[in-house]
Amino acid sequence: MDRNFVEVVIEAEMDAGEFLGMLAEDKFLGSWEEEGLLHVYWPGDRWDPGVLEDLKRVLKNLGTGNAGLSVRSIGDRDWNAAWAASLAPLRLGRNVRIRQSWHAPDPSFGGFELVIDPKRAFGTGHHATTRLVIEWLEDRIRGGERILDVGAGSGILSMVAIRLGAASALGLDTDPVAVDCAREYAEANGFGREPVFRVGSFENPVSEPFDVVLANIDGRTLPALSGFLPRLLKEDGIACYSGLQQQDLQEVQSALAKAGFRILARMQREEWFALEIRKLRKIRRGGAECAERRSEIIY
């Protein structure tokens, strides 16, 4: 019997996992991204006006509007095979290769691979904000660090940090679905007791501060996180914020300064920014105590 499907195409740069995670109901079949377009598929018998309204709600919350939204019916075809074929292994930084389970490993690759099949969790490695943090981790992990991953999503950043030599990683996310996905990814990739993923937020108490704090979350939440950094990060610890756009930078910088932190470096990819952050220390010069001079390197 022939079946019909509904294809929704959205003209916007966004991570498929992040977008699907914001939908109210899990009725879709799958999604894939290409050159600024997000394709999402539903079975015809599960498509109704409520699904369309849900899509418009998410797009409104993301600030993209509905101008780039189109809906069409497609016939019975092997859409899943077409979707799978559209996803290719992805190299991130110098040492990380992300592939889907239906692609073979690359024995010639000198780094390490993670198997990440798209699910309802942010962070398949395709988004610029995730790439920025992974590239930063490659340059900053020395070995033995305790990592806090705020807004862990798929858990990709925690897993990369462990593979690079960190001793442990605690991934927190307020979405139970994302936490379940992260645990499944970690198990599929052969991780043991580390990393650990829990439902929670940066507002929850922690037993002791961390060497590294990662936060690949939206720019509206990062100012609030800054106020908690003094208890989350060790005195000599370092943090990386990602998920920022130009309009977010001033507010985040002000919140960091108020909390006693400075921006060491600012990295950019496309319209997205990441910040490297340390505690602002007091130094003594000529018997007088003064604040450490703030410096910022822009990449």
| Preceding omega of 89 cis (within 30 degrees of 0) | no
pLDDT mean over 21-46? 76
Q: Is the pLDDT of residue 1 over 50?
A: no
- Give the CA count within 13 Å in the CB-facing half-sphere of 64: 19
Contact predicate 128/244, CB 8 Å? no
Give the residue extent of every domain in the chain.
Answer: 5-85, 123-298
235 token code pair: 């005195």
Q: Return the pLDDT at 299.
A: 42
Least confident of 12-21, 124-133, 164-173, 244-253: 12-21
pLDDT mean over 221-230? 95
Q: Is the pLDDT of residue 226 over 70?
A: yes
Could you tell me which CATH class the domain 123-298 is placed in?
Answer: alpha beta
Contacts 24+ apart (CB under 8 A), 197-202: 197/152, 197/155, 197/158, 197/170, 197/171, 197/172, 197/173, 198/170, 198/171, 198/172, 199/172, 199/173, 199/174, 199/175, 200/172, 200/173, 200/174, 201/150, 201/172, 201/174, 202/150, 202/172, 202/228, 202/232
Q: Say which amino acid occupies 35.
A: E
Please tell us whether the domain made up of 5-85 is placed in CATH 3.30.70: yes
Q: How many angstroms separate the Cα of 289 from the Cα of each of 154, 204, 234?
A: 44, 34, 21
Q: Is the pLDDT of residue 64 over 80?
A: no
pLDDT tens profile 211-220: 999 999 888 8
Q: Is the pLDDT of residue 32 over 80?
A: no
The H or E element spanning position 229 is helix 229-232
101 token code pair: 């389970």
- Whole-model pTM? 0.74
With cut-offs at 50, 70 and 90, classify the pLDDT of residue 170.
very high
Q: Return the pLDDT at 19.
A: 76
Which residues fall within 8 angstroms of residue 24, CB to CB, at 6 or more apart? 54, 57
Mean pLDDT of the chain: 84
